[in-house]
């Protein structure tokens, strides 16, 4: 025995200090040359890359590490790496397909559907998806407050739900999110606050104790919607992060986009839905691609999408089949491509 009366065979695990999510985010790959080296791309495959896109490369190393080396057909490669196909022009693909400016009640407040409105909380994201419909949005970066938006929300008693989107609301500091949540919590007619975030898929460390305290700080019902498209995006750390949210009594949903070469086959979609429901995540929406310029190579024909949903319905429980929808500007809800309108 030693002086501290600790048995000699006692084993101590080394103290591991986890890096902050901000530090991890700073390690995102934003240089094509770095990505080329990281993925060991051949000269032939390098020739496929779009070297100087306006919508820059931005992918967390965690996601990049899941991409197969030197494989431009990898489903994660296709989602995050700029390719020369983005230079293709096609009729119907425009800079802002959702016409968000028409629904702006304030610079950061969109009101499209009855009973709910969306706060464009920030233009920053954890990653840049090449098919992003809001990549050309005119974000308000000058005013960091939400005073005008909160005033309008408080004055509109028809609103029951506020959606925090962006960009990605989890890009905001916790103190900013805390203030926003607390201010929304004082509005009596609001019942729900919904987060839309891709952050956990690339940097699950963002779901830390401080953020969980933000979620606990309101009596409003929180809903948390992630965005993922393929089973390969997930790992155990991500599931553990999402479980922390679920343990607070917060439902977690997922919304996907139907993307050619990524998830446009029954086997992938079935496996994807199964891993979601096996972890208590509801497959919420499968979106038909929003026709933003530079993304035409991702489009899947609607008829094929309908066939895929029909096949899934025959192989999965009802709660495992996402709603196949398209967003049409001016319509009172998401437009179902298989049945009735969706909210």
**pLDDT above 70: percentage of residues in the chain:** 93
Among 6-10, 77-81, 243-247, 300-304, whose mean pLDDT is lowest?
6-10
- Helix/strand/coil percentages in the chain, nearest 5: 35, 15, 50
Q: pLDDT tens digits for 29-76?
A: 999 999 999 999 999 999 999 999 999 999 999 999 999 999 999 999
SS (H, E, C) 290-323: CCECCCHHHCCCHHHHHHHHHHHHCCCCHHHCCE
Q: For position 262, what pLDDT does the model report?
A: 98
pLDDT, greater one: 339 or 60: 60
For residue 12, pLDDT over 70 is answered with no
CA distances for 119 relative to 133, 135, 146, 149, angstroms: 16, 16, 9, 8
Q: In which element (H, E) is residue 117 found? A: strand 116-120
For the cut 50, the answer to whether the pLDDT of residue 342 exceeds it is no
Closest CA to 85 of 72, 103, 100: 72
Segment among 10-19, 57-66, 129-138 with least mean pLDDT: 10-19
Mean pLDDT for the stretch of residues 108-128: 97
pLDDT tens sequence across 152-211: 999 999 999 999 999 999 999 999 999 999 999 999 999 999 999 999 999 999 999 999
Which is higher by pLDDT, 15 or 72?
72
Distance CA 31, CA 153 (A): 40
User: In this model, does residue 1 exceed pLDDT 70?
Assistant: no
Residue 150 pLDDT greater than 70, yes or no: yes
What is the structure's pLDDT at 8?
Answer: 57
- pLDDT value for 2: 44
Q: How much is the average pLDDT of 18-36?
A: 93
Query: What average pLDDT score do residues 128-155 get?
Result: 94
3-state SS class at 126: coil
Question: Which architecture, in CATH terms, is 100-336?
Answer: Alpha-Beta Barrel (3.20)
Model confidence at 142, in pLDDT bands (50, 70, 90)?
confident
**SS3 readout for 174-243:** HHHHHHHHHHHHCCCCCCEEEEEECHHHHCHHHCCHHHHHHHHCCCCEEEEEEECCCHHHCCHHHHHHHH
* pLDDT for residue 7 is more than 70: no
d(CA 215, CA 178): 8
Is the pLDDT at 256 greater than 60? The verdict is yes
Whether pLDDT at 293 is above 60: yes
Q: Domain residue spans in the chain?
A: 22-87, 100-336
CB atoms inside a 10 Å sphere around CB 251:
16
What is the mean pLDDT of the segment spanning 139-163?
95
């Amino acid at each position: 025995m030693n002086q501290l009366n600790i048995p000699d065979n006692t084993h101590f695990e080394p103290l591991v200090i986890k890096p902050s999510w901000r530090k991890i985010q700073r390690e995102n790959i934003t240089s094509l040359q770095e990505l080329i080296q990281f993925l060991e791309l051949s000269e032939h495959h390098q020739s496929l890359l779009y070297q100087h896109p306006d919508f820059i490369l931005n992918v967390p190393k965690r996601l990049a590490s899941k991409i197969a080396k030197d494989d431009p057909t990898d489903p994660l490669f296709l989602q995050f790496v700029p390719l020369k196909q983005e230079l293709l022009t096609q009729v119907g693909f425009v800079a802002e397909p959702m016409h968000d400016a028409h629904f702006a009640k304030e610079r950061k407040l969109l009101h499209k559907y009855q009973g709910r409105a969306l706060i464009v909380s920030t233009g920053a994201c954890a990653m840049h998806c090449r098919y992003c419909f809001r990549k050309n949005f005119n974000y308000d970066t000058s005013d960091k407050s939400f005073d005008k938006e909160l005033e309008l929300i408080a004055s509109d008693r028809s609103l029951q739900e506020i959606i925090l989107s962006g960009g990605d609301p989890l890009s905001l500091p916790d103190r900013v999110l805390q203030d926003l949540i607390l201010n929304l919590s004082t509005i009596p007619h609001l019942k729900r606050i919904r987060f839309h975030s891709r952050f956990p898929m690339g940097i699950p460390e963002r779901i830390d104790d401080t953020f969980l305290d933000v979620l606990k700080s309101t009596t409003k019902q929180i809903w948390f919607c992630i965005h993922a498209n393929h089973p390969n995006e997930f790992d155990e750390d991500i599931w553990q992060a999402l479980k922390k949210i679920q343990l607070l009594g917060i439902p977690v949903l997922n919304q996907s986009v139907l993307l050619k070469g990524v998830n446009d086959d029954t086997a992938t979609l079935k496996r994807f839905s199964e891993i979601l429901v096996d972890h208590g995540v509801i497959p919420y929406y499968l979106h038909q691609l929003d026709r933003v310029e530079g993304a035409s190579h991702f489009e899947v024909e609607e008829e094929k999408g309908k066939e895929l949903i029909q096949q899934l319905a025959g192989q999965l429980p009802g709660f495992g089949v996402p709603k196949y929808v398209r967003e049409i500007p001016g319509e009172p809800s998401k437009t179902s491509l298989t049945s009735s309108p969706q909210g």
